[in-house]
Chains A and B, each alone.
Chain A
Amino acid sequence: MSKGIIRHDFEPKIMGFVCKWCTYSGADLAGTSRMDYSPHVRMVRLPCSGRIDPQFVIKAFEQGADGVIISGCHPGDCHYNEGNYYARRRNLAFRNLMEFNGIDTKRLEFSWISAAEAIKFTQIIDKFTNQVRELGPNEGYRVLLDPYASRLVKSSEESAA
């Protein structure tokens, strides 16, 4: 074992949405090069970062993800010419919405990783995992999203009182 796994009290759950041409291939290259990286991320393979609907991110948070990573080809390298530009603009708008709702934008990572950048891929995954680990569990997100859940929490508190 090249890198000892240190177990922490809190291990974040991370969801990744990546494009199949660049980042997914970059992750494959990290695999063929046997590079160790944090095992927390679960990636969904999509044709293009422009296919990533902000609702996927919301759904992932709702599903209990502590962090979400979005990654695609570098600007100008998109297999579909311009899909990653849409992803970039969408990310900016979505970040504002997250901030407005009081969710720490550090829980969403957006990066360009090409098919050749296996090292960058592992670095970003490790860095982001540590960042989310420091932020702690994404509690209260489901409450925020689901007014019924918050009512349930309240009523259970009341009954307990």
Chain B
Amino acid sequence: MAKIGVFVCQCGNNISRTVDTADVAKDASEQSGVVFVEDYKFMCSAPGQEAFKKAIRDHDLDGCIVSACSPKMHEATFRNAAEAAGLNPFKVEIANIREQCSWVHNDKEIGTAKSKDLTHMMIQRVKYNRPLERYRMSMTKRALILGGGIAGIQAALDLANAGTPVTIVEKEPSLGGNMARLSETFPTLDCSQCILTPKMVEVQNHPLITIRAFAELEKLDGYIGNFKATIRQKAKSVIDKDCTGCGDCWEKCPFTVESEFDMNLIKRKVIYIPFPQAVPTVPVIDRANCPKFIKDKCGICADVCGPDCIDFTQEDEILEEEFGAVIVATGFELMPNVYKEYGGSSMPQHLIPKKMNKKQRAAQPRSTSGRLPDVINGLEFERLASASGPTGGEIRRPSDGKKPKTVVFIACVGSRDANKGVEYCSKICCMYTAKHTMLYNHSVHDGKAYVFYMDIRAGGKGYEEFINRAQDEGAEYIRGRVSALRKKGDKILVKGADTLQGCAVDIEADMVVLATAMVPQADAIDFAKTLGISYDKHGFYSEQHPKLMPVDSSTGGIYLAGACQGVKDVPETVAQASAAASKVMQLFSKEELMREPEVAIVDKDHCMNCWDCVTVCPYLAISPEEVKDRDGNVVKMVANVNPGLCQGCGLCNTVCRSKSIELQGYTDQQVYAQITAFEGAFV
């Protein structure tokens, strides 16, 4: 026979004003199994909790109902109090008679009747509550950072400086990401390389940071605290540990291809580092373009290499490593120019870049090789303006190397246009276009910059002032869209509209810069599936809560940083990266992980291996397990739940045909008991 205590809280007069708490308590005392009732002014206060604990001890209660506020408020309070008094915390239930009764129903009779009903339901439920124990799990206190851009670098340094070993996996041969491509950064116009490269060197020299450049994550298994990552270290054809980064190989290499880092504006060698300040300074051989690998000719790099570290026979290496937490910082790319009217390639099926896989993406003609070679995008302009770029910081147009005297900047190309691009605002374009006009004016003193814009969105510290400065320095802002770009001699005729003056504007430009939308990496969705995290319709990774949990992904132990989660500028990216690092530190600050026991368990005797639960589980927490007899023969296969992965949604419980999998804390028995006690009495 159950020994249940019912504690009805008056909550000052928040509950007692519209609910006769004494009557609720008296009514509860008449229920079977109830041996103790109390009606108190503030159950959650210190004396209230003491009375609660005393009742548990004195009456040896094996179940408690607190009829009070929402379980979100004080479930934890009373569960902890019960634990202190020696009762399993999961034998305590809350009947919500404040938020869902006294505060919303003004009639005392009705409120009392509903409170009685809700209390009855909980009394029946608690009889089937099983004592549960929280799971304790060990964890690997190492962090994996995916992506070596500014977000990954910042997170790695924050974590490593706090004493956590970190591994950065970067798919390119060097750290740096998109930020390394930038010439100068808004709103202070400090040189991007000058602020980024010291951080890259710091990463390289940090004893707790391991850099895995030219590597990719193949697979991620496990759960919070205990991830197992399979990393593919692509063959560099250069032995890392022997390479001194002297540069003899890439100087002597006779073959060149277009440089991805320089947005295909110039050529790089086939054995290369992406840019001079690359970290690590170990070159890689681009096997797809190297004649040694295509027709077994050349091999000059091996001849000139002093430390003899060129290895043409090197193979991809598969590494398996364990981590406790993962930070995803895979960044963004710019939407390719897919607009025929802007001189891009006209491929309507490719309007939405996320649908392209890597190969299709590589096969896309770039704007520089399109019909109008002098129509470039923002990152290409950054390279042209950069002191380390193909033109050494002098702005010259790609087609013939002339200094452009008139440059038209077009904002919102692809952004804020659900029909022809993406519907969101790319956020950084207003600012970087203003910066571009300044860089242009600083480089070409007699040049004229025009900006076609829809709205100027400059929310941020010093951002509006920056836009004003750009206008003061000579940029002409025209509010309106551009309908077409046409070739006219060696110039580009820009046919636009000025919607403030209500007239058409034709400008003959030497160069046009498109602020194309920021989109996720082409393989972002496939990568999200590898990680098991959720993403939005554009392919940006979803945070747990848009306001209160902006760095947690939907999966425990995986955190988000930077533009892979949504469009961001550098300061925001750095802030989010530090936030993600602090979340990891918080996780690693404990000795071991504690998990709520509200997870599914399997009745192995009754499981008939239909695997419906395996199909339905959103967390891949259920897997087949062998049941063996004494001699070690496999008798049958049953489902097995990994409590570390299970998040307690209960989908498996609902689909199970034999009802042999149960969500602890929300078992069928508990719910049926609750329904059975339902009377629905109005008064």
Which of A's residues lie within 8 Å of B, judged by CB? 1-3, 5, 11-15, 25, 27-28, 30-32, 34-37, 39-40, 42-48, 50-53, 56, 59-60, 63-66, 79-83, 86, 90, 122
Residue of A nearest to B102 (CB): A31
Does A39 lie within 8 Å of B111, measured CB to CB?
yes
Docked complex Cα distance between A37 and B107 (Å): 11
Option from B103, B114, B121, B668 in Cβ contact (under 8 Å) with A31: B103
Q: Given the complex, which residues of A lie within 8 Å of B71, measured CB to CB? A: 45
B560: min CB distance to chain A, Å: 16
Complex A-B, nearest 3 residue pairs according to Cβ-Cβ distance, in ascending order: A13-B680, A31-B99, A51-B650
Docked complex Cα distance between A11 and B106 (Å): 17
B649: min CB distance to chain A, Å: 4
Does A39 lie within 8 Å of B110, measured CB to CB?
yes
Inter-chain contact count A-B, CB under 8 Å? 131
Residue of B nearest to A51 (CB): B650
Does A32 lie within 8 Å of B99, measured CB to CB?
yes
Docked complex Cα distance between A39 and B106 (Å): 10
Q: Given the complex, which residues of A lie within 8 Å of B201, measured CB to CB? A: none
Does A28 lie within 8 Å of B104, measured CB to CB?
no
B554, B655, B678: most-surrounded residue (chain A CB, <10 A): B678
A78: min CB distance to chain B, Å: 8
Does B651 lie within 8 Å of A81, measured CB to CB?
no
A54: min CB distance to chain B, Å: 9
Interface residue? B647 (CB, 8 A): yes
Q: Given the complex, which residues of B lie within 8 Å of A83, measured CB to CB? A: 618, 649-651
Interface residue? B118 (CB, 8 A): yes
The contact string, 1 if C-beta is below 8 Å from chain A, for chain B 665-679, is 010100110111011
The contact string, 1 if C-beta is below 8 Å from chain A, for chain B 88-111, is 000000001011110111110011
> Can you list 7 A-B pairs, Cβ within 8 angstroms, ordered by A?
A1-B106, A30-B99, A31-B70, A36-B105, A39-B111, A40-B680, A86-B655
A60-B618 contact in complex given A5-B106, A51-B653, A86-B651, C-beta closer than 8 Å? no
A102: min CB distance to chain B, Å: 22
- How many residues in B have their beta carbons less than 8 Å from beta carbons of A? 46
Q: Given the complex, which residues of A lie within 8 Å of B402, measured CB to CB? A: none
Option from A25, A40, A90 in Cβ contact (under 8 Å) with B72: A25
Docked complex Cα distance between A156 and B110 (Å): 36
Docked complex Cα distance between A108 and B663 (Å): 25
Interface residue? B593 (CB, 8 A): no
Does A34 lie within 8 Å of B103, measured CB to CB?
yes
Beta-carbon contacts under 8 Å, B625-683 to A: 647-651, 653-655, 663, 666, 668, 671-672, 674-676, 678-682
Interface residue? B278 (CB, 8 A): no
Does A39 lie within 8 Å of B114, measured CB to CB?
yes
A86-B616 contact in complex given A28-B72, A51-B649, C-beta closer than 8 Å? yes
Option from A11, A14, A34, A47 in Cβ contact (under 8 Å) with B663: A47
Q: Given the complex, which residues of B lie within 8 Å of A34, measured CB to CB? A: 103-104
B538: min CB distance to chain A, Å: 13
Beta-carbon contacts under 8 Å, B223-240 to A: none
Q: Given the complex, which residues of B lie within 8 Å of A12, measured CB to CB? A: 680
A61: min CB distance to chain B, Å: 10
A80-B106 contact in complex given A14-B680, A45-B71, A63-B678, C-beta closer than 8 Å? no
A82-B618 contact in complex given A48-B650, A59-B675, A65-B678, C-beta closer than 8 Å? yes
